[in-house]
Amino acid sequence: MQILAPAALFAALLIPAAAGAAIQTETVEYSHGDSTLKGHLVYDDSIEGKRPGVIVAHEWWGLNDYARQRARMLAELGYVAFAIDMYGDQRVTRHAPDAKGWMQQITANVEDWRARALAGLEALKADPRVDTDKLAAVGYCFGGATVLQMAYAGANLDGVVSLHGSLPPAPEDSDIKASILAAHGFEDPFVPAERVAAFQQSLQTAGADWQLVVYSDARHAFTNPAAGDYGIDALRYDAEADSRSWAQMQGFFDQIFSD
């Protein structure tokens, strides 16, 4: 499986698709409570038959172009990718106070947080191209914590991948069915060492199948080439950590979907 360098990979995504291109996108409307959610579905229509489905959970900025690009990259690997909408109506911001406020509204009630993410999973499973026996979720920052909460809720996922997520520890009553891969930046000031240790211990106590990969010089948001554009010192793109984590995610998916 060929792995492109991150710069080339994202540059390629900016080239307009040729007529008749295999990658297709759809907006899928679904709901949670009183909120109307609009997810971004991406798939390769040249592939026949069912294939694994992968949830993409966005950063705290909302369902923006970055999350859509990651969904497209997964579709190019042969998956049906569904970038879920955790805020409603695809709300997006570039302002940290807005993002923090929206995120806190979602995370204030853990059960509702999980239920909203799981509503996105049900929307993905409803797509006729998806093999519902082969499902995974990948999340970035806030999305990383979101996919971990899906695992803690006992979702029937083969695996979840948290990329520079906040690493919330698993509650004692967790029923974890999914294998877990977490990628973390050692220099991430948003996630103290004490939480990293608590995260690992909680998964060990829960008897989960888990692995944590730590990148020595990486900060928060290390996979996002636009991380430095937000003017927040804690955010920094790291091309090497991006490339390595993408390759490790692919290997992880190959393993969990091999049966």
pLDDT digits (tens, 9 = 90+) for 17-76: 444 459 999 999 999 999 999 999 999 999 999 999 999 999 999 999 999 999 999 999
**Whole-prediction pTM value?**
0.92
Residue 89, pLDDT score: 87
Among the residues of the chain, which ranges form H helices? 6-13, 65-76, 96-107, 110-125, 142-152, 193-206, 239-256
Phi then psi for residue 205, to 5 deg, are -65, -35
Q: How far is CA 74 from its chain centroid? A: 11
Rounded distance, CA 85 to CA 134, Å?
21
Residue 15, pLDDT score: 43
Three-state SS string over 189-211 comes to CCCCHHHHHHHHHHHHHHCCCEE
CATH of domain 22-256: 3.40.50.1820
Beta 51-57 vs 130-140: how paired, if at all? parallel
Q: What are the residue ranges in the chain where pLDDT is below 50? A: 1-9, 11-20
Rounded distance, CA 197 to CA 13, Å?
37
Amino acid at 184: H
What is residue 92's DSSP assignment? B
Residue 149, pLDDT score: 98
The domains of the chain are located at: 22-256
